[in-house]
């Protein structure tokens, strides 16, 4: 019997969440799934893996029932920039896939984690110290699916008593997975380019401030929320969380402390720049701190030092 199923296991979050879950539950108790066939080497492998398209509700339900899954981490999604390029696909994956997961989980009474995003906010939202509960009118298809997803999760919790929880992830920075089409991906690409080329051309402008988080903090927050006492959770779904806020110029300056010859250039992508400017610059995550004790471990300096160290170690192993 498998306890946990992860959709989108080959993505940026899944690449680090699956190993963390396997350390907690045991390797054979966590089933990694993704629409892609299993690659030869990947952090989400080394344990049970099945190919799954979450828009196929029958296949999803059969898999959950066959393994008697108790917890689902639903990570499969089309991210911001890619969603704007193919909105029909984004709606199908982000909304139909979520509905299938919630409905199947309702039938077997499984706990569900569903990530939201700062994309759920829009240009009318206060951009500084964005409140937990505030106006949400995004102007991107990805953001629309995130708001609709938050509401759908709330409905399943209120109507059916489903234990569904979630976080509004800020920009996530990881040394494990490659960027996946998000607007904040510059903050991952910059490290790879710094080590390989000692320069980087950012697709966001130098002063574009966004809330960020190092992936180890994001994984820990995810696990802590799912293990939190439900009696303490007034919000349950879509908690604001952040660790620090930075601009491309500030991140470049931090990298230059370790690599003085690093050069930063800019070639602004109008689409991703417009998306970024509609998102918060900082978040009020006091609800997460008060309701389940959220505290980040990494600031900008700590994240930068660890990213450079981990990527350098990986490069040496690949030689």
CB 185 within 8 A of CB 192: no
Q: Which CATH class is domain 4-170+214-240?
A: alpha beta
Domain boundaries, the chain: 4-170+214-240, 171-212+243-281+297-318
What does the pLDDT read at residue 181? 66
CB 21 within 8 A of CB 6: yes
> Average pLDDT for residues 214-235, to the nearest whole number?
96
What does the pLDDT read at residue 43? 59
> Average pLDDT for residues 43-54, to the nearest whole number?
85
Task: Say if domain 171-212+243-281+297-318 classifies as CATH 3.90.25.
Answer: yes
- For the cut 80, the answer to whether the pLDDT of residue 103 exceeds it is yes
In the set 49, 73, 142, 200, the catalytic residue is: 142
CB 288 within 8 A of CB 241: yes
Determine the straight-line distance between the first and last CA of the chain, rounded to whole angstroms. Answer: 40
CB 310 within 8 A of CB 175: yes
What does the pLDDT read at residue 314? 85
What does the pLDDT read at residue 1? 52
CB 291 within 8 A of CB 228: yes
- For the cut 60, the answer to whether the pLDDT of residue 53 exceeds it is yes
Given pLDDT bands bounded at 50, 70 and 90, which one contains residue 177?
Answer: confident
142 is catalytic: yes
- For the cut 80, the answer to whether the pLDDT of residue 45 exceeds it is no
What does the pLDDT read at residue 178? 73
Given pLDDT bands bounded at 50, 70 and 90, which one contains residue 71?
Answer: very high
Q: What is the pLDDT of residues 87-101, one digit of tens each?
A: 999 999 999 999 999
């Amino acid at each position: 019997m498998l306890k946990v199923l992860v959709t989108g296991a080959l993505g940026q979050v899944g690449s680090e969440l699956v190993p963390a879950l396997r350390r907690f539950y045991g390797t054979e108790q966590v089933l990694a799934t993704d629409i892609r066939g299993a690659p030869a080497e990947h952090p989400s492998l080394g344990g049970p893996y099945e190919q799954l398209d979450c828009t196929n509700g029958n296949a999803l339900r059969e898999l959950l029932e066959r393994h008697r899954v108790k917890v689902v981490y639903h990570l499969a999604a089309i991210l911001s920039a890619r969603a704007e390029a193919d909105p029909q696909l984004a709606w199908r994956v982000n909304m139909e896939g979520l509905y299938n997961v919630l409905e199947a989980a309702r039938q077997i009474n499984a706990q569900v984690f569903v990530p939201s995003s700062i994309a759920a906010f829009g240009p009318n939202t206060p951009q500084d110290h964005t409140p937990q509960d505030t106006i949400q009118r995004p102007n991107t298809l990805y953001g629309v699916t995130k708001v609709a997803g938050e509401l759908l999760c709330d409905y399943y919790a209120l109507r059916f008593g489903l234990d569904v929880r979630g976080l509004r992830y800020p920009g996530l920075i990881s040394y494990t997975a490659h960027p996946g089409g998000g607007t904040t991906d510059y903050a991952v690409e910059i490290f790879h380019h710094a080590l390989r080329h000692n320069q980087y051309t950012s697709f966001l402008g130098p002063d574009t401030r966004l809330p960020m988080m190092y992936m180890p903090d994001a994984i820990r927050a995810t696990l802590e929320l799912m293990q939190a006492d439900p009696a303490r959770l007034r919000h349950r779904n879509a908690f604001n969380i952040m660790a620090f806020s930075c601009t491309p110029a500030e991140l470049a300056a931090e990298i230059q402390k370790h690599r003085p010859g690093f050069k930063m250039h800019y070639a602004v992508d109008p689409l991703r720049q417009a998306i970024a400017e509609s998102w918060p610059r900082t978040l009020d995550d006091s609800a997460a701190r008060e309701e389940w004790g959220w505290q980040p471990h990494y600031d900008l300096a700590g994240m930068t030092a660890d990213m450079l160290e981990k990527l350098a170690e990986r490069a040496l192993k690949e030689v």
